Structure 1
Amino acid sequence: MTFFTSSDDPDGSFNEYEIIKLISLYDGRAENTGPYREMKKGTHIPDSEKKKLAQNITFEYHSTDGEQHKDLHIIDLMKRLVDSCTEEKNSCLAYELRSGTIQLLLGNTSDSESFDTKKLLWDAIRARTEQIPGNRQTGGDRADPHEATREVMTRNDRSTRTLQALSGIAIGIFDFDETDFEEIVDTFEPSFEDGSVFLKFNRCTLLSIAEGDRALETCRQTLGVSPYLVIPHAVLIHNEELVQMAEAQIEALREKLDKYWQLRLLLKMRDLEARHDTAYEYLHSLHLPMIFNYPTETTLFEVGRKKRGSIEKYRLVQSRLLELHEEIKEIWQLRRGTAEALVVALLAFISATQAARAILEKDIPPAQAAPMVSWKPIDDPAAHVTQSIDAIGWSAIGFVSIVILSVSLWGLNLFRRRRKSSG
């Protein structure tokens, strides 16, 4: 997919402001210009959200059959571009922009203000580490990057504005023309060192600035960006999304554990365990490990996990899932103990009832048989005693069962209080 700006620029190319506008579709938090929120039917969106820049960026789409679609918001555009996303399936309602990969190739001007853009950038990158004279190379005419960048920022010419524009793209802000020397130095601190490419993670954006890229030239008409950038970034986003999905399952599970009353909690263990298993699948079965071999991709993936806080977030959610696993395990043990106690009590009272009946039937003589002509009921003392034993036995079984269940529920309530106090 290729974008062209609708400005008066005859070649339709993007300037720094257009690029930052696209960044605001998924970020824009620094200046409250985004991100974009889809206005679904029945969903209330405050006026402050509607006024954001991201909500007012529209696209014009020309399909392959010549049909034109105007004033499309980004999600509407995605619905038309993704083949599997149809109105019948209603699957686009969950679509949301989360991150972006931006790749810039440097060029030089040819007018009287010509300057080396690459040198401007790399002086700014090295300004922090090479500002101390002891760190400078000696024995040559190489200028101090720190002082060279400071000098550029005092010119207030095209070279200054170029450096400021690159910094605005790097951190996704529109007021980059107010950036001073110290902010420039902070902005151009790369996420990791590379001799020919500037790579930086800034919140939701991966930015690459280089003089040239063979992989990009190969994929310009298809992917539109270097696969060595977009694939590691996509894996990072994939893993982060899985962690968020696992966290949502854990929150729902935690809510049920706190809300269910004791007996219902014992009866709903299968449903709770299913949610736990779903969260476990997100964090382990579907979560991708290191799958790259090339050094740049490997470093990009590892540094991205650290810079974006993915490692800490994963460990935190994994720790919460482990705590829930232990809680579910203890509740299962309590449930099994309750069931086993009820079975033991039932068997014990049945055995005692049978033994008592056998003893009494042996000691009490049977009543004499009445004449056949008499319709008077036979008064059998042994039968009365046996019935009394049965009634007492079953009453005792019910009483003991209630006691065992009450003790189990009391134990579950005590377990909850102990977990809350420890948390």
Structure 2
Amino acid sequence: MESYEDDMLLYAHRDEPPFRTRVVQSELEQVTVGFAAELTYEAEGKQKRLSCRDGRSRSFAMVLGETVFERSEVVFEHAHTSLGVLTLVLTPGEALTEYDVIKLAKLWEGGESVGHPSAIREGRDLWFATRPGEQTTLHALLQRAFPDWQPLDEAERGAETGARSGYRVGTLELEVPRERWRKGLFADLATLKRRREAPKDRARWDRAVAVGGVLQGLLDFRAIEDDELADVFAEVDIDPEDETMRAFHKGTLLSLAGEEEPDPDQEERPSPLGVDPYLAVPNIVLLHNEQRLKSARRREGELSAKQRGPARQLFERAAINETENGLSGMARLLAQDLPNVFHYSSERRLQKRGRQSRGLDDLNTFVRLRMDDLSSVLQSRVRARDRWTAVLGIAVGVVTAFLVQQAIQGRPLWLIVIAAVALFGVFLWLRDKLF
């Protein structure tokens, strides 16, 4: 993978690349994905059901990859380690339906509506098996595939991750078979984008809406109306002549292209990662940046909540020193939010579109504004502390003089020393906590 990344990175980053991807050798080369015979989910406030006779399973070749960002540090269980993005690439051995793809997309997209953790119960509605009789979750499969890594949940406590409780995104690289209707499909998608007109023919509408369902990761995609369908394709990059389409929607990066005819005169060079690196690596960088920004936002929220409060919450208040260190940590996280490090226009466009679609630029701005507010609160606390430090110092001086007087009068020296140390400790604690 090193040659691919050297090629796609800007010249300024090739000598010191911000990340490196490698293919991980593993005994897990094949996996079977099982789909339950019946799936119940909620969409638009209604319970809905999908059924297929006796369930189904599909076999996939599996390739594992890990991308390490050496300068992005994570502290987990008091240990410092570099942040990594783990890649599990599944290549189907047989054709998939749109419902198969959408169910797989639920592994990172979650529910059909806001607030629902997932429409798929991993291990029950959809499961992975590497040996007979096994029904395991994606989290468990990742732990087997990458035993030296601990997937982070949103709170970064190392709990079992899920669609909405972990850092997950998906790259879908789909090929449309060589059928007579293929050119018409890309033409219909381009018309939806440019003119907001859906095809009138039922078969053509079904194909267009299926692509929209895959892009959105919605099982209930057939309930969509024409105007909504046009909105889905408003921001896609599509070339009907080359029969290609690329688009982001939330955690999904979808690449749709016509299946190419093999050229006997051209030697095929398969990707070592099992997916187009020029598609996968930009999405990996986006996930890295998302984790850095969300970590900064979470830390800011924790510290801001501990700045002010009633006297009874004094012991929960973040000390001035803790707040200063927290702001420094947030600044480091924001500094690790990588800029657009790619050389070619297609990858630079993917990075720009991905940041815009997922709101990463807005999140960066939001965190910086919140940090400014937290810094203002901190400065106010520091000024108040400095004003009262003199008063507290005088009080400590008076008490110290009293203790010295007691020592002169023959009181036990050890008792006076303990009292002085305790007084000094209380003074230091109050100095940061009271203000």
Give the TM-score of the pair, scaled to structure 2.
Answer: 0.60
Q: Does the alignment pair 1:23 with 2:105?
A: yes
Q: Which residues in structure 2 correspond to 1:29-48 (within 5 Å)?
A: 29-30=111-112, 35-36=117-118
Q: Which structure features the higher share of helix residues?
A: 1
Greater length-normalized contact order (CA 8 Å, ≥ 6 residues apart): 2
Paired position in structure 2 for 1:134: none
Structure 1 residue corresponding to 2:247, chosen from 187, 200, 209: 200
Q: 2 CA distance for matches of 1:203 and 1:278?
A: 27
How far the C-alpha of 1:69 sits from its partner, in A, is 6.5
Structure 1 unaligned spans of 5+: 37-51, 110-114, 132-145, 351-386, 388-404, 414-423
1:64-89 deviation digits (Å, cap 9, x = unpaired): xxx656110111111111131479xx
Paired position in structure 2 for 1:54: 121
Structure 1 residue corresponding to 2:168, chosen from 93, 98, 101: 98
1:102-151 deviation digits (Å, cap 9, x = unpaired): 11112123xxxxx23133223322344257xxxxxxxxxxxxxx5xx53x
Q: Which residues in structure 2 correspond to 1:66-105 (within 5 Å)?
A: 70-85=134-149, 93=159, 95=161, 96-105=166-175
Q: Which residues in structure 2 correspond to 1:235-274 (within 5 Å)?
A: 235-259=285-309, 261=311, 268-274=319-325
Paired position in structure 2 for 1:290: 340
**Cα–Cα, structure 1 residues 69 and 328, in superposed 2: closer, same or farther, change >3 Å?**
farther
SS at match of 1:13: coil
Query: Match for 2:141: what amino acid?
Result: L
Paired position in structure 2 for 1:176: 221
Q: Does the alignment pair 1:299 with 2:379?
A: no
Q: Does the alignment pair 1:331 with 2:384?
A: no
1:167-195 deviation digits (Å, cap 9, x = unpaired): 22122122333445444433333434557
Alignment coverage as a number of residue pairs: 309
How far the C-alpha of 1:347 sits from its partner, in A, is 8.9
SS at match of 1:232: helix
**Cα–Cα, structure 1 residues 316 and 166, in superposed 2: closer, same or farther, change >3 Å?**
same
**Cα–Cα, structure 1 residues 218 and 326, in superposed 2: closer, same or farther, change >3 Å?**
farther
Structure 2 residue corresponding to 1:166, chosen from 211, 225, 234: 211
Contact 1:190/1:199 (<8 A) preserved = no
Q: 1 CA distance for matches of 2:190 and 2:255?
A: 13
Paired position in structure 2 for 1:107: 177
Contact 1:5/1:13 (<8 A) preserved = no
Q: 1 CA distance for matches of 2:314 and 2:126?
A: 54
Paired position in structure 1 for 2:331: 280
Q: Which structure features the higher share of strand residues?
A: 2
**Cα–Cα, structure 1 residues 190 and 260, in superposed 2: closer, same or farther, change >3 Å?**
same
The structure number with the bigger radius of gyration is 1
Identity over the aligned pairs, expressed in percent?
Answer: 23
Contact 1:190/1:198 (<8 A) preserved = no
Structure 2 residue corresponding to 1:229, chosen from 264, 270, 279: 279
Contact 2:32/2:129 (<8 A) preserved = no
Query: Match for 2:127: what amino acid?
Result: F
1:341-382 deviation digits (Å, cap 9, x = unpaired): 55579999x9xxxxxxxxxxxxxxxxxxxxxxxxxxxxxxxx
How far the C-alpha of 1:161 sits from its partner, in A, is 3.1
Q: 2 CA distance for matches of 1:296 and 1:267?
A: 46
RMSD: 4.1
1:235-269 deviation digits (Å, cap 9, x = unpaired): 11211222211111111111211247498699922
